[in-house]
Chains A and B, each alone.
Chain A
Amino acid sequence: MSKFDIRKIKEKLFLVTVAALAILAVFPLFHIVFTVFYEGISTIMATGPTFITGTLGEGGIGPAIVGTLMLTLLSSIIGIPIALAVGIYAYEYPNSRIGKITTTLLQIMLEFPTILVGLFVMQLIVIPMGSYSVIAGALALAIIMMPYVAVYTAESMSQIPFTFREAAFGLGVNRAKSVFMIIAPIAKRGILTGLLISTAKVAGETAPLLFTAGGLYQSYPHSFTQPVGSISLLIYTLVQSPSIADHQMAWGAALVLMVIFLAVFIPIRMSLKEVKL
């Protein structure tokens, strides 16, 4: 009897431990969201709308917001078409040698230290051009984005029941038409989700922009070949400054970035079962 009591106690202890660990694992998120909101909102309230529209001199992060949008947009334009084609290829040849290597490469790139991508693009674009630029930053982000989009595309297509594939090929049209015009659209929801999540992801990236985008906060960017800032990059700079005013600015910028991220991420996440991060 007493022997079994020990097992009972272990059982209770186990449940309590497991529940505590689960809460502890996600608790930081609550704290982060609350703190960023609390600290950020006071900065934004103090400055007013200028915080969103003004330049750094005026106490605003307008150029950084525009920079983030430009970088995200251009990186999507560069990255998405290539990534879609690669994803569809990986779906179409899951068992061929090159198909397998492609899948592995995509997974490796998914996990790759992003700062290294920045260094690579610096050597590839910034040095020959002689200047940081939107193009360089966007290319770095595109390289980071591609594996996400490709993996999402391949996975959502592979979930399509085989019978649709048979039906598509049964129509006698060529493979390109069957895959691009019939099968891929069946998975469009999954593919679109992948696109949005990947976009949200790169919009918050910092490390790859350090040596590619350069930073521009006192005026709005007006050229793709000139340096550009981003919200994340600005926060990184502000946090390292000794000035308290800069720290408050960083909180405000962090709130803007967090709101953008959550506004894109949460609705998508709620609408599907699993994501790959």
Chain B
Amino acid sequence: MKIRKPDLFQIITYPAVIIVFAIFISMLITFLIKSLPAFDMYGFNLYAKNVWIAAENPDNEKYGILAAIWGSIYTSIIAVGVALPLSIGYSIFVVDYAPKKVKNVLIILSDVMAGLPTIIYGVWAVFFLVPALKDNIMTPLYDTFSFIPLFSEPSISGFSIMSAGILLSIMVAPFASAIIRESYQMIPFKYKEAAFSLGLTRYETTKLLFGYIKPAVYSGMILAFGRAIGETVAVSLVVGNAFNLTANMLAPGYTISSLIANQFGNAFIYGHMTSVLYASGLFLFVIGLGVNLLGIYKLRRWRKNVEI
């Protein structure tokens, strides 16, 4: 036997793997380091207060991004809430009812939606979706339900938390659909047979089998939430970009990513704003990491169990 030479395979692949890890870690470090001045200056209040005073004199600057955090979460919750029934209905229809050709078309359409450049959603939303929502949904909601805090103030422009939420729901539904559909399709046929053999109707069978893929539905929701909270340009075009800490979804709001998109270009003018925006990014970083890890982990665990 010859002495083992260094493996060419490792020589080729290891550096690439190291580069990818290095990119990720240096991203995290960059965000941490760039956030430090903001933490020094404002402490935890940066995430806990709603204030945005950009002043020429750095001593007068005051920042707290709570409204943006709130807006990110609020819009993403609306997005997932609306996308979930769409995705579940879509998955059931595609797997159980659609004839083969329709099925393929529906799957391709959904994939196209998932890949479509987000700026195209943005243009469409600014000029069509927002005005349409304002006239047909938001105004009637205010007229009828203004006693509910969710709809307590009328929307003036239509650019609002609700518009962002609905747009996001359209954008993330294909992701949730793909995960739910694949999981629903993975249910072994023997369980379907068992349900039918008990005299259950199709509705009852589907309901029963969805109990089985519940973990996958949850991970679909979580991953869709992760997508929604990170989405930037389309949201920044429709959310209204106002520091509102309100339950009223008809009011304009902010999200972390749209705050960065809007303010970062001019932030260098001010003393602390750049660091504040990196700290906002760090928050998004951590949320994104946590949410996605949770979703990926749940999905993986489910897929592992289902094969047994």
A and B touch in the complex (CB under 8 A): yes
Interface range on chain A (Cβ under 8 Å from partner): 35 or more
Contact: B116 with A204, CB < 8 Å? yes
Q: How far is the CB of B300 from chain A (nearest CB, A)?
A: 9
Q: Is B157 an interface residue (CB 8 A)?
A: no
- Whether A85 pairs with B203 at a CB distance below 8 angstroms is no
Residues from chain B with Cβ under 8 Å of A205 in the complex: 117-118
A96 shortest CB reach to chain B, Å: 11
Nearest to A260 among chain B residues (CB) is B117
Contact A207 B110, CB 8 Å, known A28-B170, A88-B13, A258-B120: no
Closest chain B residue to A14, Cβ basis: B203
A-B interface pairs (CB < 8 A), number: 261
Contacts of B97 in A (CB 8 A): 15, 18-19
> In the bound complex, how far is the Cα of B285 from the Cα of A35, in angstroms?
35
* A22 to B260 Cα, complex, angstroms: 35
Contact with B along A191-204 (1 / 0, CB 8 A): 00000010011011
B100-132 Cβ-contact flags toward A at 8 Å (1 or 0): 000000101111111111111111101110000
In the complex the two chains form, is B120's CB within 8 Å of A204's CB? yes
Known A25-B90, A85-B13, A175-B7: A31·B120 in contact at CB below 8 Å? no
Asked if A239 contacts B123 (CB within 8 A), the reply is yes
Judge whether A1 is part of the interface by a CB distance below 8 angstroms.
no
Contact flag A86-B116 (CB < 8 Å), given A18-B97, A113-B230, A270-B108: no
Query: B31: CB under 8 A from chain A?
Result: yes
Given A92-B13, A175-B7, A277-B178: A207 touches B261 (CB 8 Å cut-off): yes
A36 engages B120 (CB within 8 Å): yes
B177 at the interface (CB under 8 A from A): yes
- B93 interface residue, CB < 8 Å from A? yes
Which of B21-29, B47-55, B134-142, B143-151 touches A? B21-29
- Determine the chain B residues whose CB is within 8 A of the CB of A120 once the complex forms: 26-27, 30-31
Flag whether A146 is at the interface (Cβ < 8 A). Answer: yes
Contacts of A171 in B (CB 8 A): none
The answer on a CB contact under 8 Å between B109 and A206 is no
Q: Does B303 contact A (CB under 8 A)?
A: no
Interface magnitude class on chain B: 35 or more
Identify the stretch in A52-60, A97-105, A160-168, A217-225 within 8 Å (CB) of chain B at 4 or more residues: A97-105
Chain B residue nearest to A12 (CB atoms) is B203
* Interchain CB contact (< 8 A) of A275 among B9, B111, B231, B232: B111
Q: Is B202 within 8 A of A11, CB to CB? A: yes
Once A269-B111, A275-B111 are accepted as A-B contacts, the answer to whether A105 and B24 lie under 8 Å apart by CB is yes
Given that A14-B203, A179-B9, A257-B119 are contacting pairs, would A113 and B17 also be in contact in the complex, using a CB cutoff of 8 Å? Answer: no
Closest residue of chain B to A209 (Cβ to Cβ) is B233
A21-B88, A82-B16, A89-B16 are known contacts. Are A29 and B112 too (CB-CB below 8 A)? yes
- Asked if A186 is at the interface of the complex by the 8 Å CB criterion, the answer is no
Q: A21-B89, A211-B264 are in contact. Are A82 and B20 (CB under 8 A)?
A: yes
Is B292 part of the contact surface with A, judged by Cβ < 8 Å?
Answer: yes
Contact A269 B108 (CB under 8 A): yes
CB distance from A92 to the nearest CB of B (A): 7
Whether B85 is near chain A, meaning CB under 8 Å from some CB there, is: yes
**Are B115's CB and A18's CB within 8 A?**
no
Asked whether, in the complex, the Cβ of B119 is within 8 Å of the Cβ of A206, the reply is yes
Task: Write the nearest CB–CB distance from A94 to chain B, whole angstroms.
Answer: 12
Residues of B with Cβ closer than 8 Å to A?
Answer: 7-9, 11-17, 19-21, 23-24, 26-27, 30-31, 34, 85-90, 92-94, 96-98, 106, 108-124, 126-128, 170, 173-175, 177-178, 201-204, 206, 223, 226-227, 229-233, 237, 257, 260-261, 264-265, 277-278, 281, 284-285, 288-289, 292-293, 295-296
**15 A-B Cβ contacts within 8 A?**
A28-B170, A108-B296, A111-B226, A119-B31, A119-B278, A146-B20, A206-B122, A207-B118, A211-B265, A239-B237, A240-B237, A247-B127, A251-B123, A258-B117, A258-B120
| Other A-B pairs, 12, CB within 8 Å; known A7-B203, A115-B281 | A18-B92, A19-B93, A22-B93, A25-B87, A36-B124, A82-B19, A109-B20, A146-B20, A175-B9, A176-B12, A236-B233, A261-B116
